[in-house]
Amino acid sequence: MAAPRVHVAEFGRVWADARGLHGATLAEELVRIVTPWGFDDVRAGAASTWVAAQLAATQSRVPGVAITVPPGEDRRYIAPFPIAALEPPPDLALLLAGLGIEKCGALADLDAESIEVRLGLEGVRLWERARAEERRWLFRAPVRDLPSASLEWVEYGLKDPERLLFVINSLAGTLCRALSSRGERAREVSIIFSLGNRSQRTHLLRSSRPSAEQKRWVRLAREALDSITLPDAVSGVSLRVESVTGNDGAQGDLFDRGFASAPAVEDALTQLTDDQGDVVVRPRNSEHPLIEARTTWQADERMPRTIVAGSRGGISAGPVGPSVAALPRDDNEKAADVSIPQLRLQLLPTPRVVTVATEERRDHQIPIRYMDQNEWHELVDVAGPDRVRGGEWNAPYARDYFRCVRDDGTMVWLFRGESQGTDWFLQGWWD
């Protein structure tokens, strides 16, 4: 039986996540469970949006009753309530009273542009609540635990590296099978040795490329065992995945013969062309301040049908002819490519929410450490903020970007999105 996630909030309110469940039945069941505990004024509401559910519960005059708002009727249900039911800030409530707006329906009927001009961003957010279009989620997607495996023994202690490697090989197989079933690859794996003197030693393994291959992690473990010294015999070993990535593949040219997947890509595109006809699109880049919003893909019927795979997995089109890689280059250009190392910015498909600890710096906060996928990372150097603001009235954005260096040398790109509340995001990293 599925159980809802429950969150206890201020003012005696209890939120239950009914996604995937029957909301009306859940609301009635919550009232039935809470009432015997001595709470006389128990009311519940169920709706598709949190705004309508809150009003159904808090504005009901009959205790012990669960009110359900039919799907698609949230805005109509909210309309008769006074503006005060939406709990606007005091200064905004005074402005609305001066404008003669008393009901949620009257506010919802106005156009957003006039609301933004007169009431600002807070007014737009209140207007969205009156229209049951509030985008805020009360429950985020739960963070899954990363795979781990362990083995302990008490009759003896191991000091032979080969026997330890035999145990690690078995545990690595369990980890890699779990990663493959989740569609993920590990970037970092910790080996935790439990010693006979009741202490533990942890060694972190890092792979240059994320991998779910057992052989790769066993090879890294073998190299680690050759370089570390343990003060006592080992009575237990644990492997724990510290960070993962999706199976999005390594960035590069899909037609490069150095990629093992190149023949499969060519066969798939040939079959696609035979079945669907030529597929030709080209990127259109704008000067949008947000990097993830700069590129769009559009059909191009003018160019000859040559399909070229881009370095980020996109597909673009160009005229038939020799590729750039096939053109001859002189020795000076080749030497320049070799002698000048460059960092490549790796962007996440969508910015990922992270937990950040900050400290005060003049008129802003700077990050000093952040937690991503259950692991804290210390920041030893921070540059910023680079402030980006703009957007239309219905999609405003304001971000403070920071280029940071972690204690392990990794460069990351963090930003704080004011339009998303106080959340911090990981935009990408350099390698």
Which residue from 75, 19, 28, 20 is spatially nearest to 52, judged by alpha carbons?
75
191-207 pLDDT, tens per residue?
999 988 888 889 888 88
Distance CA 356, CA 145 (A): 20
Once rounded to an integer, what is the mean pLDDT over residues 53-79?
79
Q: Note the pLDDT of residue 171.
A: 92
pLDDT attached to residue 324:
36
Highest mean pLDDT pick, 139-148, 253-262, 337-346, 355-364: 355-364
Q: What is the pLDDT of residue 311?
A: 36
The Cα 102–Cα 314 span in angstroms is 51
**Residue range 320-346: mean pLDDT, rounded:** 52
Averaged pLDDT for residues 85-105: 86
pLDDT > 90: percent of the chain: 6
Mean pLDDT over 120-140 rounds to 78
Q: What is the pLDDT of residue 28?
A: 72
Specify the range with the lowest mean pLDDT, choosing from 126-140, 310-324, 333-347: 310-324
DSSP string of 189-235, one letter each residue: EEEEEEETTS-EEEEEEEEEEEE--HHHHHHHHHHHHHH---SS-EE
> Which is more confident, 7 or 126?
126
The CATH number that domain 148-246 falls under is: 3.30.1490.100
Q: How confident is the model at residue 403 (pLDDT cuts 50, 70, 90)?
A: very high
Residue reference for tokens 């490549």: 344
The predicted structure's pLDDT at residue 238: 92
Tell me the CA end-to-end span of the chain in Å, nearest whole number. 45
How far CA 411 is from CA of 87, 158, 407, 428, in Å, comes to 42, 39, 9, 9
123: pLDDT strictly greater than 80 = yes
For range 81-99, the mean pLDDT:
86
Find the mean pLDDT for residues 337-358. Answer: 77
pLDDT at 178 over 80: yes
Highest mean pLDDT among 20-34, 119-133, 322-336: 119-133
Contact criterion met (CB below 8 Å) for 170 and 177? no
Q: What pLDDT, on the 0 to 100 scale, is given for residue 431? A: 79
Count, residues in the chain:
431
Are the CB atoms for 60 and 43 separated by under 8 Å? yes
3-state helix, strand, coil in the chain (%, to 5): 30, 30, 35
- Tell me what pLDDT residue 323 has: 37
381, 405 contact by CB (below 8 A): yes
Q: How confident is the model at residue 399 (pLDDT cuts 50, 70, 90)?
A: confident
Buried b / exposed e across 38-74, counting CB within 10 Å, b at 16+? eeeebbbbbbbbbbbbbbbbeebeeeebbbbbeeeeb
Q: What is the rounded average pLDDT of the residues 246-273? A: 63
Confidence (pLDDT) at 319: 38
In DSSP terms, which residues pair with 45 in a beta bridge?
A: 67
Q: Note the pLDDT of residue 6.
A: 65
CB atoms within 10 A of CB 213: 16
Distance CA 102, CA 86 (A): 11
| Range with the poorest average pLDDT among 156-160, 230-234, 239-243 | 156-160
Q: How far is CA 412 from CA 204, 353, 387, in A?
A: 20, 14, 17
310 pLDDT higher than 80: no
Instruction: Please report which confidence band the pLDDT of residue 248 belongs to, taking 50, 70 and 90 as the band edges.
Output: low
Ranges 73-87, 131-145, 385-399: which has the least confidence: 131-145
161: preceding bond cis by omega (within 30 degrees) = no
359 has a pLDDT exceeding 50: yes
Q: Roughly what angle, to the nearest 10 degrees, separates helices 161-182 and 214-227?
A: 150
Quickly state the pLDDT bin for 230 (edges 50, 70, 90).
confident
Domain ranges of the chain: 6-130, 148-246, 262-326, 345-430
Q: What one-letter code names the amino acid at 136? A: R
State the average pLDDT for the chain. 76
224 burial class (0-12, 13-18, 19+ CB within 10 angstroms)?
Answer: middle
259: left (phi over 0), alpha (psi -120 to 50) or beta: beta
